[in-house]
Amino acid sequence: MRGGPQKDAPPKSWSERWKEAREALGNVPRAFALLWEADRTSASLLAVITAVNSAIAPAQAWVAKLILDGVVTSIKLGRAPAAGLRALVPYIIVELALALTSAAVNQGFQLLYGLIDLRLGYLVTSRIVRKAISLETRWFEDAEFYDKLQNARRQSEYRATAAVRHGFFALQNALTLVSIAAILIAFNPWIALALCAAAAPTFVVQTRYSRLLFRLQTWRAPETREMNYIEQLLTQDDAVKEVKLFELGEPLLKSHRDVFERVYQEDAALARRRSALSVAWGSLSTLSYYGAWAWIVRRTLAGALTLGGMTFYLSLFHQSQSAFQGLLNDVGELYENGLFLKNLFDFLAIPAEKKVVDASPRPPEDRARGVEFENVSFRYPGATDWILEDFSLQIAPGEKLALVGENGAGKTTLIKLLTGLYEPTSGVIRLNGVDLRRFTVEELHRRIGAIFQDFVHYQRSLRENVGFGDVGRVEDRAAVEAAGVKGGADAVARSFAKGYDARLGRWFEDGQQLSGGQWQKVALSRAFMRDADLLILDEPTSALDAEAEFEVFQRLRRLSEGRTALLVSHRFSTVRMADRILVLKKGRIEELGTHAELVGRGGTYARLFELQARGYR
């Protein structure tokens, strides 16, 4: 754990604090811009309601003064109760109308805010997800990126809606202050100043601890991610077997609790200090109000004010102090929410590096050239070691090429380059004689069908699990079923009463759990959804037994005629079926040839094949 900001952060200068405050409060209009995008009608109605509500309290105080003075006058004049009441009926009606209006606008505010809370929250979440979708693969291999994503996701939805709520409250309090400021200043400017100034220290305390809370929670992103990860391990089906078998539940829960306790102790210490200082300075505000209260009573007893006037000014004193305290509290909340919204807007500002495609006429494709790697070198951004170096290879159209090599040899990187998830640091990759950089990402991906070792188990229908291979045709049942026949998902569908409409997985009601082999057939069928030039199969049969594996590859060879296939596997019984086998070592070609040729050479491939073959003897 990095420790709280109260330990690690050096004191900031006033200019730095002012800059931070301007940046934080500058995020509030951006939150309102999101609100306007989410629900313009509700936003407009809320503004109107806020303006109306700000005028109701001062109006009620004035009407109460008139009623009270009317009562006192009737008593002095000796009017009959009925006559005195008739004189006050117009004021009472106005007071009733104000009370009903106040109740209606407050209820309207709650209703509208509840609606925009949902819409704005959804908009913020969808913006975060859409930004994540738009980013290149390299971002998802960076721990710092996950910290930014965690900070953006953790509180942005709540902070955006809270900023909007306190923004409207601040507007209402400001309008209320404006409506009574002239009266208070004319009555006694020093009393008005004292009432407002007494609320300022509490505001300073709140903003200071808002800043500390923001830093603490922002720096804590790795710990929060760790807690979330442990929760996933303990609650999701892909880990439950090992967790139970190795009795990891309690040890992992203890790790979760240890992280929580460190987080809790820091939060609790900060909350205690914040509350103590807020109570101390809040007492000053209370004392100032009762000092003003005593002064106005004394003026009334001296005959300078009527009883109604005393009530009116006491009400205004209370309203002005409450409005000023509320305004400062709202500004403090806006400051705090603005600090946290910085995480959201910083994340949304991450540049989505749109691939720039050369707009000049593209050369015609020559399908006789297949796939070509020409002097390709690659290293990951920020790294110094080369994953591939001066790599050259030609894969003929319709050829089935197997990749073999130890972990870290460059097999996965080769696939990432071929699928356009990364671009070579140097060199050229061509498909049908055309540089991959001349294709848009979408166009290139449509030319490729793939199944990866860690393929996704979508907790959705079997039809969607297959159809997601070509999402534009996911509703085309004939295409889905044809792909299911090719990949083997048709056998899975026949085992369910609902066929392709059966939901897969156990996360939702009526979900059907599949074996590893069944999931793999579904994933193979997904790869066959596309009429692809290139098939990529990364350990496609790791969950199948030997007989099923042989059946799949016989089917694969038959159905992929005319298509180029790239196969990554550690099973040599699978690899030997390929037309050629490429042995990679530290990003370079160590051996290349047919199974028979490589065994005959007695090199690395022959040694590894012999080692694996012994296990079957």
Same-domain status, 300 and 392: no
Same-domain status, 76 and 108: yes
Point out the domain boundary residue: 320, 348, 376. 348
Please state, in angstroms and rounded to a whole number, the distance separating the CA atoms of residues 442 and 363.
19
Ramachandran quadrant class, 305 (left: phi over 0; alpha: psi -120 to 50; beta: rest): beta
Q: Residue 141: inside a domain, yes or no?
A: yes
Same-domain status, 171 and 279: yes
Query: Look-up: residue for tokens 């730095």?
Result: 16
Same-domain status, 241 and 388: no
Point out the domain boundary residue: 321, 348, 375. 348
Q: Residue 354: inside a domain, yes or no?
A: no
3-state secondary structure of 18: helix
DSSP letters for 43-76: HHHHHHHHHHHHHHHHHHHHHHHHHHHHHHHHHH
Range name among 95-99, 312-316, 412-416, 419-423 with the lowest pLDDT average: 312-316
Please state, in angstroms and rounded to a whole number, the distance separating the CA atoms of residues 241 and 178.
65
Same-domain status, 42 and 171: yes
Same-domain status, 298 and 410: no
Count how many domains the chain has.
Answer: 2
The CA-to-CA distance between both ends of the chain, in Å, stands at 52
Please state, in angstroms and rounded to a whole number, the distance separating the CA atoms of residues 292 and 288.
6
Is-contact 131 352, C-beta < 8 A?
Answer: yes
Query: Look-up: residue for tokens 């807007």?
Result: 345
Same-domain status, 220 and 279: yes
Q: Residue 391: inside a domain, yes or no?
A: yes
Point out the domain boundary residue: 297, 316, 348. 348
Is-contact 131 348, C-beta < 8 A?
Answer: yes
Please state, in angstroms and rounded to a whole number, the distance separating the CA atoms of residues 401 and 199.
75
Same-domain status, 229 and 373: no
Same-domain status, 308 and 376: no
Q: Residue 533: inside a domain, yes or no?
A: no
**Residue of 93, 285, 60 lying closest to 180 (CA atoms):** 60
Query: How does pLDDT run across 161-213, given as a tens digit for each residue?
Result: 888 888 888 888 778 777 776 666 666 666 666 656 555 555 555 555 555 55
Query: How does pLDDT run across 3-48, given as a tens digit for each residue?
Result: 444 444 455 566 666 666 677 777 888 888 888 888 888 888 988 8
Q: Residue 456: inside a domain, yes or no?
A: no
Query: How does pLDDT run across 476-496, given as a tens digit for each residue?
Result: 999 999 988 888 889 899 988
Q: Residue 327: inside a domain, yes or no?
A: yes
Tokens for 589, please give them: 């070609």
Same-domain status, 245 and 278: yes
Q: Residue 495: inside a domain, yes or no?
A: no
Type of residue numbered 180: I
Question: CATH number of the domain that 617 lies in?
Answer: 3.40.50.300
Enter the pTM of the model. Answer: 0.62
Question: CATH number of the domain that 256 lies in?
Answer: 1.20.1560.10
Query: How does pLDDT run across 546-573, given as a tens digit for each residue?
Result: 666 666 666 666 666 777 888 887 777 7
Ramachandran quadrant class, 356 (left: phi over 0; alpha: psi -120 to 50; beta: rest): beta
Is-contact 201 279, C-beta < 8 A?
Answer: no
Handedness of CA 475, 477, 480, 482 (dihedral sign): negative
Q: Residue 430: inside a domain, yes or no?
A: yes
Same-domain status, 165 and 92: yes
Residue numbers of the domain that contains 175: 18-348
Query: How does pLDDT run across 336-357, given as a tens digit for each residue?
Result: 777 778 878 888 887 776 666 6
Same-domain status, 371 and 305: no
